[in-house]
Amino acid sequence: NAGVTQTPKFQVLKTGQSMTLQCAQDMNHEYMSWYRQDPGMGLRLIHYSVGAGITDQGEVPNGYNVSRSTTEDFPLRLLSAAPSQTSVYFCASSYSGYSPLHFGNGTRLTVT
Amino acid sequence: GESVGLHLPTLSVQEGDNSIINCAYSNSASDYFIWYKQESGKGPQFIIDIRSNMDKRQGQRVTVLLNKTVKHLSLQIAATQPGDSAVYFCAENIAYGGSQGNLIFGKGTKLSVKP
């Protein structure tokens, strides 16, 4: 049972480049979400999904897109990377909003 | 705006002592709370949760206390061990308009255990 798997673990982008952070879970969880973690800021919610075909914005959605075509996968797209998007990104899943989130081990992104 | 925060950013305890990590929340509509542990280079790991209809919940060596009157949450770790050294986050769930809500995290407390 792999839980939540994020790829890649590390990524360096130049300003203006685009990329997709991958997230997959094998627990058949309906709820999935993306957070970013910056020093001194805790984890902030970017986007979330309550099921396949349904996504919504979190606290800091600007510059990011998501889609949820299957229950298992929830990719996060950076359309045009900016230095302000340098952060550690965590994907998480849960049975519902009232059950514990299971987190992946993160993607460390640097934008130069 | 309303946010989940912590009283102390760092906490240093002696191995074997009990640790208490505090969290203040400001949204009275929050009805579900979770504590997470995060070790360096890893994702947050679930420790214990509590619903707003409870004021105490115990796990293995951990206890969470919820005081809704003063909007305060605490995590108690008994017989703290070196392996407990990590950053601890509290999180609250706020459901609006019948939605299932999302977890909002505090900024974290770093716990250091001295051998």
**Mean pLDDT along residues B24-38:** 90
- pLDDT tens figures, B102-114: 788 888 999 999 9
The answer to whether residue B101 neighbours chain A at the CB level (below 8 Å) is yes
In terms of Cα–Cα distance, which of B29, B32, B79, B37 is closest to B51? B32
Residues in CB range of B91: below 8 A, 6 or more apart = A43, B4, B33, B34, B35, B36, B103, B104, B105, B106
Q: Given pLDDT bands bounded at 50, 70 and 90, which one contains residue B26? A: confident
Report the chain B residue with the minimal C-alpha distance to residue A49: B102
Q: Which helix (H) or strand (E) holds B49?
A: strand B45-51
How high is the pLDDT of residue B3?
Answer: 45
Chain B residues with beta carbon closer than 8 angstroms to that of A2: none
Distance from CA of B104 to the nearest CA of A (A): 7
B34 and A101 within 8 Å at the Cβ level: the answer is yes
The answer to whether residue A19 neighbours chain B at the CB level (below 8 Å) is no
- pLDDT tens figures, B35-72: 999 998 899 999 999 999 999 999 999 999 999 999 99
Residues in CB range of A48: below 8 A, 6 or more apart = A31, A32, A33, A34, A55, A56, A58, B102
B107 and A42 within 8 Å at the Cβ level: the answer is yes
A48 and B103 within 8 Å at the Cβ level: the answer is no
Chain B residues with beta carbon closer than 8 angstroms to that of A103: 43-45
- Residue B91, CB half-sphere, CA atoms under 13 Å: how many? 29
How high is the pLDDT of residue A1?
Answer: 65
The answer to whether residue A30 neighbours chain B at the CB level (below 8 Å) is no
Residue B4 has pLDDT above 80, yes or no: no
The answer to whether residue B25 neighbours chain A at the CB level (below 8 Å) is no
Q: Given pLDDT bands bounded at 50, 70 and 90, which one contains residue B101? A: low
In tens digits, chain A (112 residues) has pLDDT values of 689 999 999 999 999 999 999 999 999 999 999 999 997 778 999 999 999 999 999 989 999 999 999 999 999 999 999 999 999 999 999 987 778 899 999 999 999 9
In terms of Cα–Cα distance, which of A79, A71, A24 is closest to A52? A71
